Structure 1
């Protein structure tokens, strides 16, 4: 039995609505003006270049968010306010983990642009929230709006999707974000 074009169109619209509604991951706004505390096994200050290189078990905390990695470059503006350099960007590499109160993201690399209040994660990205997992090549997290978008590829283009519906798991294959959505059991 073949479905009528009208019925098939309604299914397509329904699936599109589910996919579009999962593009944004609801998050609370992050206080990107909070001080940044850090710890690392080693730090190298490069004052003339306005940067610091942290390595070995790097841990950074800002408000309710933590960022862990093997290595991090901290770029600052050269201005010192209240005895603290004004940080403008963090570049992390090696087992990067960003944790927020209700989500955890993992990747090979991450860039936290403090001026734009955006974290971009690249390479084998995994985003987990409320039991849902999305995998892809690039994740962009806007800390002001709470919107997270994951692409299947770390280069421009590709498709975007966010957190899967309750209990869903999404995986990356061939530059695409794909997945399976679970549905509630019905009688």
Structure 2
């Protein structure tokens, strides 16, 4: 691959939703509330598995999925196990104030305060939409980066609006333009 093509590819892969940086910092120390149709505790593995209509809330952020693996450290503080990671699958939606992200899988690394979403990812902020293969959200800075590698092609049917699935290796989207006089 030529140096110019690598430079263009790198430029294409890094798309930042600039308004996200203006959001207030997420409180990653807030308690995590959850609900699901079923929960299986696997104490020896320091894990809990939630299945069916999983709903998670931390401060003003919510996560919905069909399945969630909760990994905890084994350390207990004030009677509560210390959660280190959430792995969600099955139609994952993460909502933050003024921002919604959808994908097939998500990993919330509580230690790094980063959410990574994979699989036909769509980030929507107001009328702006960006599609790709992988989305990384830094909860400290609010910076969102979309990566276009390994994006599965397909139609946007059933998703509504102007959303189109990105062809392989591309990040696509629509940005609104303010009306000018």
TM over 0.5, yes or no?
A: yes
Q: Deviations over 1:139-169 (max 9, x none)?
A: 00000001000011259xxxxxxxxxxxx97
Q: Which residue does 2:130 correspond to in 1? A: 134
1:183 CA displacement: 4.0
Name the structure 2 match of 1:12: none
Deviation larger for 68-77 or 177-186? 177-186
For 2:95 and 2:47, the matched residues in 1 are separated by 24
> How many residue pairs align between the two structures?
158
Indicate which of 51, 59, 66 corresponds to 2:62.
66
Rg: which structure is higher?
1
* Unaligned ranges ≥5, structure 2: 1-10, 152-161
For the pair 1:83 / 2:79, whether they are aligned, the reply is yes
Whole-Å separation in 1 of the counterparts to 2:138 and 2:106 = 13
After superposition, the C-alpha distances for 1:68-108 in whole angstroms (9 at most, x for unaligned) are 00000000000111111000000000010000011000000
* Residues 128, 173 of structure 2: 8 Å contact kept: no
Q: Distance in 1 between matches of 2:179 and 2:97?
A: 29
Secondary structure of residue in 2 paired with 1:176: coil
Q: Superposition RMSD on alpha carbons, in Å?
A: 2.4
How many Å separate the matches in 1 of 2:163 and 2:53? 30
Given that 1:88 and 1:115 are in contact with CA atoms closer than 8 Å, whether structure 2 keeps it comes out as: yes
Q: CA deviation at 1:21?
A: 8.6
**TM-score for the superposition, normalised by structure 2:** 0.79
Structure 1 unaligned spans of 5+: 1-15, 156-167
The secondary structure found in structure 1 opposite 2:30 is coil
Partner of 1:161: none
Which residue does 1:11 correspond to in 2? none
- TM-score, normalization: structure 1? 0.77
